[in-house]
Each structure stands twice: as structure tokens, then as C-alpha cells.
Amino acid sequence: MFSVPKSQYSSNPRIPNHLQVTAYNILLREWLRLGNETDGLVTYVTIHTQPRNGYLGGSRAVDTEKIETFLCAADNLSFSEAAKLLHLSQPSVSHQIKSLEQELGVELFKRSSSGLELTEGGRVLLPWARRLIHDSVNLKQIMTSLEEDIVGELRISCSTTAGKYILPQIVARFCSRHPGIKARILTCRPERATLDLMEGEAHIGVLSTEINDLNFEAQNFFKDQVILIAPSSHPWAKRASIEPQDLLEEPFILREQESGTRRVVLEELAKHDISPDELRVLMELGNAEAIVATVAAGYGVSFVSHLAAVDLIKQGSIVQVPVDDLSLQRSIYMVRKRVSAPHRPRDTFWTFIHAPENADLLSLPEQPVRPLLKSPYEAGIQSEPAN
């Protein structure tokens, strides 16, 4: 654990705000220097003096150019590859890394038989370095956007299948309105979305589970419908609905353990005394589109997001099968850090989500779907000659 009592510097009227940067650099150096020797290090730093020489009182801030060089070398575990990507000479990269190590007082890389490796100090520095570069870029973008249109990068981590269908269209509308914004949608596993927010890799996260963490602020994005699908030739295709117990008779395809869809389905089945062990699970798949395609090919039945199945339902390859007394609706949430530096692309997009012009997209999961063509079963019956 590493903590700094806030009252020892930021609340003291004798300490100018810019000395917080000095304290931050001192703490980072000490953590890196002692981290290999002291388990559970807790450091407290008290600043009693006013700055003497220079803006930071004699303690120089870490050079972001060296940090960028460190990140490139760490990502590629090669000084020569880093030099190539940064358009520098290899001696220049080596010199910057050596200089950074001297400033921080810790070795960042070591050579082994398998090549270049990060030391423990290097691994500790890595998330701090990424955050520093992100903050540096954000600062430039904030300054640029104060007197101009909204510009900058918007990174969104999306961990839910449903979000992947609606989110890109809303982002596209947003970028059309604000051409100076460059958006990136990063698909990830559910547990990764909040980590991306904390580490500064993303500005906004999209999740299918509610977050009970004071570090985050959440708003409802939209309501997703989870539906049961079966091949269009399946006997269930001609039934108005089925009972929950009927699910025990068919080969079943489940989403992976971490899936929000799986969680909602199993919670609802538990209300009818159906456990996962009772299902005839054919396989588990981590991709909704793969499940829909497998069901369309005639292998089993499954529960998926309405949005993932809508195209093949319209084509008549699969059918939606209503299940009596099963309420399979889930909320999709948009999440951001509760306390963070101002970021106009993120903050503007946050309010843009529920603009009236997006009502058509947000209501898509609630719209009924009808096949454009009759299912093969229905078509087969109607094509039979009359006796």
C-alpha cells in the first residue's frame, strides 16, 4: 500500500499547489526505489519549505519524452524496435532509458537469456507512465478546445454484446456533430472495463451489471431484451410459447461464465427451480454471434441478446420462442470515473447519449421482430399441393 496524507501538503496554505507535483515525483521515486525491498511500504512525506530554484523547488518533473520512450521499449521489450518506431537511434533510446533510471533511482530493465525484461520497478512504473501520457494528451486537448470546437480522443470500453450494436451508431452520430473528435471503441471482458477507466485507458465504460463503487458514476444506457432462439425448423417454431421446464429437453448453448446474459438467464431460471446442472449443455461460447450462427445451423437452442439475433430472425433462419413467466430484461449502463480531470469529449458524449435524436436507437431492443420470409417449416406446409 502507498499513501500520502492529503493534509500534509494540499491543505496547508503555506504550500503552493504546484508543490504537489514535487511531492508526487518524490513519492514515485521512493516507491520505485524501495518497492523491491519493503513489502507493504507506506510512505509519508511532509513538505516544510517554499520552492527555491525553479518552478518545482529544485525537484525536476519527469520528462514525458523519456516516459514515452520507456513505454515503447516496455511494450516491445526491445530498444532497437523502440528506436525504429520512435524514429530515434538505438543509442538515443538507451541514453533516455538510462537517464530516466537515474532520475527515478531504480533500474527499469534487465537483460536475460530470453531478451529484455522489465524489473519490478519497471512493472510498477508502467501504469503510472500510461496515466502520465494520457493526462498530458488530455491537458493539451483541453487547452486546445477552450477556444475552439470540441476536439480530442474519446475511448470507450464496451464489455457487453448489446452495447456493441447500438454504441457504434451513437458514437458515429456524435462524431458527425463534432468532427474534431476521434473515437475508439475497445471491446473487452466485463472485469476489464472498470480497470480501463481506473488506468486511464478509457474515458467511458459500457457494462451490463450495475456498479456499486463510489469511484464510479453510472447512468442507464438502454434496456436490453434477452430472448430464446431456436432453428426455424425446430418444433418450437410452431408453438405460441413454451414452459420453462421444456428447456430441460433440448441441447443448450450457454454463454461463458462472466457473461451478463448468462447471469440474467440463470437468475431467472432459478426462480423456476432450474439449475445449470439440469440443462443439457451442448457447449459454452463466448460470442453471441457465434451462438446465433450455431443455432441457425440446427445445433441446439440458446438465450441471446435480441440485438444479436434480429438479423437472422428477419431472414427466417432462426425463430424467437416466448417462454412463459420468464422476464429476461436487463439494464445496460454507461460508467465513468466520479472524480477526474475535465475532458470535454467524454463529458459532452455523456449528455449526448439521451438526446432526443437518439431515441430511435435506444428503443431498438424493445421493437418486435418479424421474419421477412416465412420459416422453412411454414413455407413447406403452404407449398404442399391441396388434396
Per-residue pLDDT of the chain (387 residues; tens, 9 = 90+): 333 333 333 333 333 343 334 444 544 554 454 444 433 333 333 333 334 344 444 455 667 889 999 999 999 999 999 999 999 999 999 999 999 998 888 999 998 888 899 999 999 999 988 888 887 877 776 676 665 678 899 999 998 887 889 999 999 999 999 999 999 999 888 888 889 999 889 999 999 888 888 899 999 999 999 999 999 999 999 999 999 999 999 999 999 988 889 999 999 999 999 999 999 999 999 889 999 999 999 999 999 999 999 999 999 999 999 999 998 989 999 999 998 888 889 999 999 999 999 999 999 888 776 665 454 444 444 433 333
How many of the other CB atoms lie within 10 Å of CB of 245? 12
- Whether 6-141 and 150-222+331-366 share one fold: the answer is no
How many of the other CB atoms lie within 10 Å of CB of 180? 15
Spatial neighbors of 296 by CB under 8 A, at least 6 apart, are 231, 232, 312, 317, 318
In the chain, where the domains are located: 6-141, 150-222+331-366, 223-329+369-378
Cα(134)–Cα(128) distance, integer angstroms: 10
Q: Is the pTM of this model over 0.75?
A: no
pLDDT tens digits for range 308-360: 999 999 999 999 999 999 989 899 999 999 988 888 899 999 999 999 999 99
3-class secondary-structure state, position 42: coil
The CATH number that domain 150-222+331-366 falls under is 3.40.190.10
3-class secondary-structure state, position 280: strand
CA distances (Å), origin 238, targets 196, 251, 317, 319, 346: 46, 18, 14, 10, 48
pLDDT tens digits for range 47-71: 333 343 444 444 556 678 899 999 9
For domain 6-141, the CATH class is mainly alpha
| 223-329+369-378 CATH fold | D-Maltodextrin-Binding Protein; domain 2 (3.40.190)
3-class secondary-structure state, position 253: strand
3-class secondary-structure state, position 149: coil
